[in-house]
A and B are shown apart, each in its own frame.
Chain A
């Protein structure tokens, strides 16, 4: 598994990378570097998914 996932900001649709292990361990919101929107990474349809069994 790669160390990062790409998420898509639900507000501006821009993509950015998040560190998988951090967001799996601590479950905080990510923050879009383009529009500053903060949201749970699952809402950004992370690829690959953060958790096993999650939909791609």
Chain B
């Protein structure tokens, strides 16, 4: 099956400028983030960085490479699922919902993730180059691991990327945010006095990562959605220490298995959140690691939270918002979430008030839909100048803004209330629908635009 390393190999051949190998030794504590911040400023679509000599938390150079920025480029995210940027959210939505594939279970001997198996005192998470992202972070964080649990009633798997503070070589404290399906599973187990079985799987083909991260119904298998996105059944394998009915991806880079003992919560955080602020310390479940399995040459992925690499965290919300908006306004075209809390929704109006209708449907669809800016289809939602033009020139906020108080907020939003509620807003930035008149946009005749090209008028050295 396709996997992370097969993807990197093929992608590097096709786009060598987008995969940068760094052999120079670098410290996992802050230094990787420092490079990512500068790269985000330097490149519009930053390349993938693969660090081959990372000094980890134990002071040693890790035998494993660290990979970051896999999702830092929107064009790369689109190419990962074989589409282009304007169709990315639509295609991801289609594959997750219409192309689901049941996974297959393989024998342990056929699973690359079982090439190395460590249990008990041999478990040492610090052999991996786990990044300490930002100043004030509690320590190294597993930021790209799919926290995986099972619903004790239906036996259906659930997974999603949820952060984990790697406190010790065999201890992780992870945050199953309120309202997530992993939190449902945790509460079900603990209310029944049962410890919860848990695994992190880290690293896979990025199409699997995009598919597995999409929010589904409950309970509904993320493994099936991931198979739909990559276009082949996900290969699963029984865990080493959690029983044969606890299945993990056979082609992942790393799997961390463990137990969340009933009621055990310890300090987790602070952590530099997706919203660009350092989230406060919490009391979160403790995972006592029971087994660590990995490929012999495993890569460790870190998702660079709050930087351009965050794309993967927003794409699943785009899928849900697009679906909801389309139900309300079938001519909804596209959606883009550049940063948490900000949603640009593009519609093609066929009658009046559709901006409000699409916006309200989007707003109610998911907790991350906080500020919905609805624009017309002549606005490029990936172009900030275009978006600001629409906001600045097509709105009168006394009638185009709808504010909904006390909606469900995301716990990591620093501006939400103590009760985790948030105000939400629809800002309708659409033009009046014809025959209502509206001043046309500035333009140059198309024939002139095609004929007069920058490269014909400006010396090459300037371009």
| A residues whose Cβ falls under 8 Å from a Cβ of B | 1-5, 16-23, 25-26, 28-31, 33, 38
Contact = CB atoms under 8 A, between A and B. Distances in A.
B348 interface: no
Contacts of A21: 418, 420
B306 interface: no
A28 B283 contact: yes
Contacts of A31: 138, 266-267, 281
B286 to A, nearest CB: 10
Nearest to A33: B138
Contacts of B136: 16, 33
A17 B418 contact: no
Contact of B280 (A3, A25, A26, A38): A3
Nearest to B417: A3
B270 A26 contact: no
Given A19-B282, A22-B282, A38 B416 contact: no
Interface of B: 136-139, 265-267, 269-270, 278-284, 414, 416-418, 420
A19 B267 CA distance: 10
Given A16-B281, A17-B278, A26-B265, A2 B418 contact: yes
Given A1-B418, A21-B418, A29 B278 contact: no
B273 to A, nearest CB: 11
Contact of B270 (A5, A29, A33): A33
Contacts of A3: 280, 414, 416-418, 420
A18 B281 contact: yes
B280 A18 contact: yes
Contacts of A33: 136-139, 270, 281
Nearest to B284: A22
Given A31-B138, A33-B139, A17 B267 contact: no
A5 to B, nearest CB: 8
B281 A30 contact: yes
17 contacts: A3-B280, A16-B136, A16-B270, A17-B280, A18-B280, A18-B281, A18-B282, A19-B279, A19-B283, A22-B283, A23-B283, A25-B283, A26-B283, A29-B266, A33-B137, A33-B270, A33-B281
A38 B267 contact: yes
Nearest to B138: A33
Nearest to B173: A31
A26 B190 CA distance: 14
Top 10 A-B pairs, shortest CB-CB distance = A17-B280, A31-B267, A4-B280, A19-B280, A22-B283, A28-B283, A18-B281, A22-B282, A26-B283, A3-B418
Given A28-B265, A33-B136, A17 B420 contact: no
A30 B281 CA distance: 8
Given A3-B418, A19-B280, 11 more contacts: A1-B418, A3-B417, A3-B420, A19-B269, A19-B279, A22-B282, A22-B284, A28-B267, A30-B281, A31-B266, A33-B137
A19 B281 contact: yes
Contacts of B279: 17, 19
A25 B420 CA distance: 14
Contacts of B265: 26, 28
A28 B414 CA distance: 22
A4 B136 CA distance: 15
Contacts of A28: 265-267, 283
Nearest to B268: A31
A1 B280 CA distance: 15
B353 to A, nearest CB: 36
Contacts of A22: 282-284
A44 B417 CA distance: 23
A47 to B, nearest CB: 13
B29 to A, nearest CB: 12
Contacts of A5: 280
Contacts of B138: 31, 33
Contacts of A26: 265, 283
A1 B417 CA distance: 8
B339 to A, nearest CB: 20
A48 B228 CA distance: 49
A30 B283 CA distance: 8
B267 A30 contact: yes
A26 B283 CA distance: 7
B165 to A, nearest CB: 9
A26 B279 CA distance: 18
Contacts of A16: 136, 270, 280-281
A37 B279 CA distance: 19
Contacts of B267: 28-31, 38
